[in-house]
Amino acid sequence: MKNTFYLLAIIATFIFSSCNRNPINKIFDTAKKEDNVIAVSLPGWMIKKGVSMAMKNDTVVNDVNTLNTIAGAIKKVRVLVKSHSSEAFTANMNKQVDNLSSKNFDTYAFIKSDENKVTVYGKEDKDKLKDLFFYVNGDENMAILHLKTDISIAEFQKLNLSFNKDKQKNN
Amino acid sequence: MRIITSFLLALFFTATASAQVDAIDKFFNQYQENKDFTVVYVSPKMFQMVSKATNEVEDKELKALIAGIKGLKILTTKVESAKYYAEAIKKLPVNEYETLITVRDKGQNVKFLTKGTGDIVNELLLLVGGGEDFVLMSFVGNLDLNNIAKLAKKINIDGAEHLEKIGKQ
């Protein structure tokens, strides 16, 4: 009787944890099982180091310190690129990505041109951007990018990005 | 009795407003997956973030413009533009908009439809068809028409150049 109880408890725990699994992890796990896949995962400290090195001579961002703060809020970046996608795989991925809307993810932007589609999803919690997910779907190729973050929406204000290219050239 | 009438009126206006949005959404959804179409959708949250991140001094106009936009949808194609234009005119509730500009030149129709008052409009619909391209562009928010014209130079997509016509009005 005790063994049966333990078995049921383990099964219940497994089912519960599967149901609550991060949908992004599930997408990455599904894609990783396929052939022709390249996946890279970078920890937060590496991103921060890389951004601070890359931004030393950049004029787009006026406040490097703010960018460093934002880079510091990125906990993890994952990229996965898959080539020669089958129709079944693409359909499965589309289904899983579409399902993000029911898991508290908002569609931030969607762009489609010819066979290429880019969809940007975001998940916020208490005015903080927790997840940013890019889904790029081409004819036979697919790429997904996930940023696990803890960026306060207010921090964006401090970024002070300039899109005025002419002024930048003159400076 | 008065309460019931007010309630029914409120219900009627809500249903009418949502039907208009639905018609545009339906049209977009209908062709979203069609490979002949280019589709762009930018959500209010995305505009909110970009607006916050934009430089207050150097991009004052852009910041003001983005801050006013609550949603943008663009649907374009180079295939059978006259057919899609006619379909859009038929399916979208164009008679509920105020026609700002109508241009007909060498078989190409350009229509700017708005909702709102004065220079500030709540909704702007651009319809182009009959020529090389079919364009359906929908802006929602508190839009300054003068700023929208300036946006034409910032959007690198077929049909966006028509937005400049608002500025020339």
Contacts B38 to A, Cβ<8 Å: 112-114
Neighbours of A59 (CB within 10 A): 12
Sheet containing strand B108-117, edge to edge, reads A37-43, A74-82, A142-152, A128-137, A116-125, A106-113, B37-42, B69-77, B134-144, B120-129, B108-117, B98-105
Q: pLDDT (tens digit, 9 = 90+) per residue, B84-135?
A: 999 999 999 988 898 888 888 888 899 999 888 766 788 889 999 988 899 9
CB count within 10 Å of CB A118 equals: 16
Which residue range is the domain that position B98 belongs to?
Answer: 2-168
Selecting from B37, B45, B55 the residue whose C-beta is nearest the C-beta of A106 gives B45
Nearest to A142 by CA among A93, A81, A79: A81
> Residue A117 in contact with residue A136, Cβ under 8 Å?
yes
Task: Collect all residues from B whose CB is shorter than 8 A from any CB in A.
Answer: 32, 35, 37-43, 45-46, 48-49, 52-56, 58-59, 62, 154
- What confidence tens digit (pLDDT) does each residue in A141-162 have? 999 999 998 888 777 666 655 5
Q: Does A91 touch chain B (CB under 8 A)?
A: no
Provide the greatest CA pair distance for chain B: 57
Closest Cβ opposite residue A161 in set B40, B45, B53: B53
Q: What is the pTM of this model?
A: 0.74
Total number of domains constituting chain B: 1
Place of tokens 């702007």: B124
Which band of pLDDT confidence, cut at 50, 70 and 90, is reported for residue A171? very low
pLDDT one-digit tens code per residue, A94-119: 999 999 989 989 999 999 988 889 99
Cα–Cα dist B54/A163, whole Å: 7
Calculate what percentage of chain A has a pLDDT beyond 90: 40
CA A13 – CA A133 distance, rounded (Å):
28
